[in-house]
Amino acid sequence: AQKITQTQPGMFVQEKEAVTLDCTYDTSDPSYGLFWYKQPSSGEMIFLIYQGSYDQQNATEGRYSLNFQKARKSANLVISASQLGDSAMYFCAMREHGSGNTGKLIFGQGTTLQVKP
């Protein structure tokens, strides 16, 4: 079963507008962490934002915010004021505490975002 699901293979957004990238996850572990990474065409994965399962507030990092809905098991990434440089592949990932393998990140399939001028 897919642990991380990203249902949007591709998204378009107009420059300066906001965009939401969807992510749902599946785990029975009460302690877990959720990450979003950006992968430009160069290949390097760039960390954007982190949300812990016990965090009371939604995480924010500059123009990035995470809409965390624990009951729905969703962790959507919101990018405000999109820039041309935001065009990239975006991955949602999860780390489970109880697996005994806490270094492992489980990634979704990714969403390609294109920002139009």
Dist. CA 36–CA 60, nearest whole Å:
12
Dist. CA 99–CA 2, nearest whole Å:
16
Residue 10 touches another protein, criterion: CB under 8 A: no
Q: Among the candidate windows 16-24, 36-44, 62-70, 71-79, which touches another protein by CB under 8 A? A: 36-44
Tell me whether residue 80 or residue 102 sits nearer to another protein (CB atom).
Answer: 102
What is the pattern of x (binds another protein, CB under 8 A) and - over residues 37-56?
x----xxxxxx--x-x----
- Measure the N-to-C terminal CA separation of the chain; round to a whole number of Å: 38
What is the pattern of x (binds another protein, CB under 8 A) and - over residues 52-91?
x--------------------------------------x
Q: Among the candidate windows 16-24, 32-40, 66-74, 76-84, which touches another protein by CB under 8 A? A: 32-40
Report in angstroms how near the CB of residue 30 gets to another protein at its nearest. 12
Residue 83 DSSP code: -
E-strand ranges in the chain read: 4-5, 10-14, 19-21, 24-25, 32-39, 46-52, 60-61, 64-69, 74-79, 88-96, 106-107, 111-116
